[in-house]
Structure 1
C-alpha cells in the first residue's frame, strides 16, 4: 500500500539497537522522524546518520524523536556505529531499526512486495528506494515525506525547517510561504476571515485577495 500525507503511519514492532520498538508506543505524544537507508556501510548514509546524531538536541527542542532504519540486521548496525563516529565525530544517540526481513520497508511502500523477505544478498542498488524521511505527528499521521536518490545526501536542516512549519501551522490558521524560516511572516489560510484576521492578528497585508500576510504568531 502507498503511504501518503495524512495517512496513519503504519505501526510495527521491530528490533533496534535500543531493543524492541513498538513504533506508535515509542512515538508517544510527540513527533517522530523516521529516516531510512538502503544498506549498512554505505558512504552517504554514514554521513547522514552521524549528522543526525549531531542534530538530536534540535529535534528534542521540538518534541521530536529521531529513529533510523536500514535494510540490514541490528548486529550489523552496531558494527556500523563505529564507522559513523569515525567519519563524523558523532556517536549514534538514537535507535536504528533492523529490517532484515524487509517488513518495514515494504510496509512503508519503499520496496515492492516482490522484493522477498530477506536483506541477505541484496545490494544498495537493489534497495535504492529505501531513502525516505517520514515525519509523523502526535496523532500518528504522516505529516511529510521526502525521498532522495542514493547519490544525494539529505538536508536535515530542511527537515527541521519543515517541522517548525508543521508545528506552527498545526496550532494556528496560517501557512508558511516559500523558503520561510521561523520568525518570518506567514500567510493566513482561507479559514480566517478579514474580520478575524484584524481581531486576532492586529491586521494583515493583502498582497493579493487570497494572499494575506501577517507576523508569525508567537506563544
Structure 2
C-alpha cells in the first residue's frame, strides 16, 4: 500500500507556501498578491455559518485599518466559489457589510493542507480558524489557530500586526500587553562596553538586560 504523503505544517520564519486559486475577485497567484505588502491569510470553517459571518464582517468593517498598515486580506474555506459569492451577497443584503477582499475557493483542500488548516482532531472536512501574518518578503511572521467554536479577536489581530511592523522598523522588542504609544524594549547589550554605556543612557532601566524607551 502506498503511504500517504504527509505535508509539514508551515512554521514561523518559513516562506509562505505559494499557490494559485480561484477567489471571489478572480484567479490569484498568492506570491503576486503578497508582493510589496503584508498579507493576513485567514481561514473559516464554512460559509453561511454564524461565527464565521461575525468574523468575516469584522475583517470587512475594519478593512481600511488594514489598508493603512499596508496589509491585504485574504479569506479561505473549503467551499465553492458559488457558495462564497452567494454568502457575500446574503451578508451584504442582510447587514450592508460587503466582504471586499478575496475569499479562496478550496474544495480540493490543497491550500488548507499547505497551511495546516485541516486538523483531524477538530475536523477532517473544515478548516480551523487559522490566521497567518505574512510580511512583504513572503515570510510567515506569526500564526494563530482557533477551534471551530471560538471566534477570533480583531483588536488582537491588529495589535500584533502593528507590533510586528514596529519591531521591524525600529529594531526593538515589545513587552507584555504592548500597544502603540507604550514603551518598547531595547535589545540587551552583547558586550561589557555596551552594558556600561547603557547604564549612562536615558533608558528606563529595570536591569542592564531589561531596558525600555519611548519611540
Aligned position for 2:5:
none
Aligned-residue CA RMSD in angstroms?
2.2
CA distance in 1, matches of 2:207, 2:94: 49
**Partner residue of 1:169?**
167
CA contact (8 A) 2:189 2:209 kept: no
Kindly provide the CA deviation profile for residues 74-120 of structure 1, in whole angstroms up to 9, marking residues without a partner as x.
Answer: 111000113333555311111100001000000112226xx8xxxxx
In the superposition, the TM-score normalised over structure 2's length comes to 0.87
Q: What secondary structure is seen at the aligned counterpart in 1 of 2:31?
A: helix
For residue 202 of structure 2, give the secondary structure of its aligned residue in structure 1. Answer: coil
Candidates 185, 188, 192, aligned match of 2:186 = 188
* Matches of 1:94 and 1:17, distance apart in 2: 8
User: 1:133 aligned to 126, 131, 134, which one?
Assistant: 131
Q: How does 1:38-77 map to 2 (within 5 A)?
A: 38-77=45-84
TM-score normalised by the chain length of structure 1: 0.86
How far apart are residue 61 of structure 1 and its match? 0.4
Question: After the TM superposition, which residues 1-219 of structure 1 pair with which residues of structure 2 at under 5 Å, given as runs?
Answer: 1-86=8-93, 88-111=95-118, 125-190=123-188, 193-194=194-195, 203-215=202-214, 217=215
Give the match's secondary structure for 1:52: helix
List gaps (5 residues or longer) in structure 2.
1-7
The CA deviation string for residues 143-183 of structure 1, in whole angstroms up to 9 with x for no partner, is 11001111111111111110111001012221111111101
Q: Secondary structure in 1 aligned to 2:211?
A: strand
Q: Tell me the secondary structure at the aligned position of residue 175 of structure 1.
A: coil
Structure 1 contact 175–186 (Cα < 8 Å) conserved: yes
Can you give the 5+ residue segments of structure 1 that lack an aligned partner in the other structure? 116-123
Say how many residue pairs are matched: 204
